[in-house]
A and B are shown apart, each in its own frame.
Chain A
Amino acid sequence: GDSVTQMEGPVTLSKEAFLTINCTYTATGYPSLFWYVQYPGEGLQLLLKATKADDKGSNKGFEATYRKETTSFHLEKGSVQVSDSAVYFCALNKQTGANNLFFGTGTRLTVIP
């Protein structure tokens, strides 16, 4: 069945370090892929998405490229800030029902000054 495997955390980085959070998926067909972020004390919110192979989603300095050949959607940022500390969730749209998103377990990122 469809699934998302996400890099386990927690991840701790120094300010301005390079960030990669790995995400791979298993799915039939051509799912859309997403990264959601949950800042402390807030609900999850969409960070970026890609709806077809080779698409690159980007937002707030974060990027992720839909790689069908490696079934991956890794999240990257060149220079993290303390304000990026949050939990990041990779997700795919299972294409059944109304936006039936299948989420990974989440990766907690802490950026230290």
Chain B
Amino acid sequence: SQTIHQWPATLVQPVGSPLSLECTVEGTSNPNLYWYRQAAGRGLQLLFYSVGIGQISSEVPQNLSASRPQDRQFILSSKKLLLSDSGFYLCAWSETGRDSPLHFGNGTRLTVT
């Protein structure tokens, strides 16, 4: 069966520090991968998605970047965190094909101080 791992679960980082959140998927090949963010009182916002190794699409301009160095690995990064980067970050995967369900990790709670 397929599983998705996301870590760390919580993270407190100072403003200006770098960020690296990692997500890996097991039990499937060539998945679509996604990074979402949920800010307080808001819905989940799609940040990045990837349909293959090295292929990253960004949905909103921001202080973050994403990379997919391996088929089932998706990394969310920042060189210098801002206070506004605080939030709940969720990684997800889906099979290819329209309306394939998304399968989410448990999320990372990031607090930038």
Q: Footprint of B on A, CB under 8 Å?
A: 4, 6, 32, 34, 36, 38, 41-46, 49, 51, 89, 91, 93, 95, 97-106
Contacts and interface: CB of A to CB of B under 8 A. Distances in A.
Interface in B29-77: 32, 34, 36, 38, 41-46, 49, 51, 57, 59
B32 to A, nearest CB: 4
Contacts, number: 72
Contacts of B57: 97-98
Contacts of B46: 100-102
Q: Taking chain B's interface residues, is the majority helix, strand, or loop, or is none over half, making it mixed?
A: strand
19 contacts: A4-B43, A32-B99, A34-B101, A46-B102, A49-B99, A89-B44, A93-B98, A95-B98, A97-B57, A98-B96, A99-B32, A99-B34, A99-B99, A99-B100, A102-B46, A103-B44, A105-B43, A106-B38, A106-B43
Contact of B94 (A4, A42, A98): A98
Nearest to A90: B43
B98 A32 contact: yes
Contacts of A99: 32, 34, 49, 94, 98-100, 102
